[in-house]
Structure 1
Amino acid sequence: MENSIYNSMLSANQLLEKQTIISNNLANISTSGFKEKFNYILQVPDTNNFYNNYNKVIKEYYNLYPGILRHTERNLDVFIKDDGWLTVKDMNGQEAYTKNGHLKINSKNKLTIQNNEVIGRNGSITIPNNVNLKILSDGIITTVEKNKNKIFQTQLDQLKLVHLPSQHLIQKENGLFYLKINHQLNQDSNNINNINRNIRLQSGMLEESNVNPSKNMIEMISNARQFEMQMKMISVCDQNSERANQLIDINN
């Protein structure tokens, strides 16, 4: 009976973890470039522990398929094609990666994404005041000036675009992706440390979140019902235990 209660509690905790992930997915439906996350839970037999028959192994997966594209006609909105990623510096100064191409210029004239500084060729990208910007398909940022019916373009910097192995990615609470620690020392210098010149982007467009609201809502309802079943199972086991104790007292 104790084993039944233990298994029910284990299942209930797993369902709560799933609900947390689904809630986060639904909360980011309107976040540009957000990638849907889900956990796959495995019950692996534990041959070293007689009382605990299974070990819980949680594997995180991300749906990296592109979301719907939206035309914004804004020069600082970019869509990164295929498996390319933009590189930013998070609040702790660590390099991170994102598909969110909604670029902004902060009060310090730094190019940012969600308050994280965008990384270029030599670090953060500084934008001069009162300039018209244009971002080319290879990530080169130029200023555009018109003088005597002629258009002049001056190169400012270049976005650091990288290819990332999806199996080595992990997403943190800030919504940014990072390379797992055991893979950071073996990065391909052509793809990670340097700008990858094979990646292309398109300006004036944004990639929307790829979260499927209908699917996530159905899973949330299903998990809630399963959680109720586990709670009822625990309650039934508890009642049976009380009745068994009463019978033992009567017999004594």
Structure 2
Amino acid sequence: MDRLIYTAAGGAARILEQQSVISNNLANLSTAGFREQVAIYRAVPVEGPPGLPTRVATVTSTPGSNMRQGVMMETGRALDAAITGEGWFSVQTPEGEAYTRSGEFAVSAEGVLVSRQGLPVLSDDGMPIEIPDRASISISGNGQITALGAGDRPDALQALGRLKLVNPPVDGLERGDDGLFRLTGGAVAQADPQVRMVAGFVEKSNVNAAEAMVAMIANARQFEMQMKLIQDASSNAEHANSILSVS
């Protein structure tokens, strides 16, 4: 088969892979704390018989995420929280501790503070945080959670714990299939007292809708170009066969 077809087909496959990443970013446009995933092309050597050391192919890779901060949106909910600047909230998953920027917290049926995904939110001692029934909750700028029971005096605040706020090196974080980040090798980050947050706000996704739409359109045009190359290769082959054929 014409080598042009292999080249064009490989390019089309890479474009479709990148398009799926862009589509996922757009799908999470309204997901609090979402970090835009970055997709790039990179060259890889072709594995095969010796004698072709210059042959290369391309693959789509997702080397990291865009870590710029999203827009802060005021919600007024006492359980909503947003980190200002760098840092992460800590949650407990079946695979271990993970980190997120999403602060849309709620109280589970068991009375435990959980994330939007229903995962227990961890305190700075690595334990889930229990919330008293019908208590009025407030969260301070350093993550300290206090509760005021129904009918209690304003000075009868009860300390429930402090959110585990961490700030590990960005290059040491890996994005999981669940959208959460984890330290490479399964390590656990230590609480960082310098991380600050604000209650009653959530951080929106940092995906720029206009930029993502432009990227999708550009990818679509590139895909059409690859398809046109395949059509041209097929047409060239037909013309060549007609010339060589014996009438």
Distance in 1 (CA, whole Å) between partners of 2:144 and 2:225 is 56
Number of equivalent positions: 242
Distance in 2 (CA, whole Å) between partners of 1:146 and 1:131 is 6
In the TM superposition, what is the alpha-carbon distance from 1:166 to its structure 2 partner?
Answer: 1.4
Q: In the alignment, which of 215, 218, 231 is matched to residue 214 of structure 2?
A: 218
Say if 1:128 and 1:146 are closer, same or farther in 2 by CA, change over 3 A.
Answer: closer
1:73 matches 2:76: yes
Distance in 2 (CA, whole Å) between partners of 1:107 and 1:233 is 58
Q: Percent identity?
A: 34
- Secondary structure at the aligned position of 2:15 is classed as helix
Distance in 2 (CA, whole Å) between partners of 1:100 and 1:39 is 22
Aligned position for 1:63: 66
Q: TM-score, normalised to structure 2's length?
A: 0.88
RMSD over aligned Cα, in angstroms? Answer: 2.3
Q: In the alignment, which of 129, 152, 156 is matched to residue 125 of structure 1?
A: 129
Aligned position for 1:32: 32
Q: In the alignment, which of 87, 109, 112 is matched to residue 111 of structure 2?
A: 109
Say if 1:245 and 1:127 are closer, same or farther in 2 by CA, change over 3 A.
Answer: same
Gap regions ≥5 residues in structure 1: none
Distance in 2 (CA, whole Å) between partners of 1:43 and 1:235 is 25
Q: In the alignment, which of 151, 158, 168 is matched to residue 154 of structure 1?
A: 158
The one-letter code sitting in structure 1 at the alignment partner of 2:158 is T
The one-letter code sitting in structure 2 at the alignment partner of 1:117 is P
- Secondary structure at the aligned position of 1:16 is classed as helix
Q: TM-score, normalised to structure 1's length?
A: 0.87
1:19 matches 2:19: yes
The one-letter code sitting in structure 1 at the alignment partner of 2:168 is L
1:242 matches 2:238: yes
Gap regions ≥5 residues in structure 2: none
Aligned position for 1:233: 229
- Secondary structure at the aligned position of 2:246 is classed as helix
Distance in 2 (CA, whole Å) between partners of 1:222 and 1:154 is 55
Query: Per residue, is there more strand in 1 or in 2?
Result: 1
- Could you give the per-residue CA deviations for residues 198-238 of structure 1, whole angstroms, max 9, x where no partner exists? 11111111111111111110110110011011011011112
Say if 1:49 and 1:234 are closer, same or farther in 2 by CA, change over 3 A.
Answer: farther
In the TM superposition, what is the alpha-carbon distance from 1:49 to its structure 2 partner?
Answer: 6.6
Distance in 1 (CA, whole Å) between partners of 2:178 and 2:162 is 25
Query: Per residue, is there more helix in 1 or in 2?
Result: 1
1:165 matches 2:169: yes
Query: Conserved in 2, the CA contact under 8 Å of 1:37 and 1:62?
Result: yes
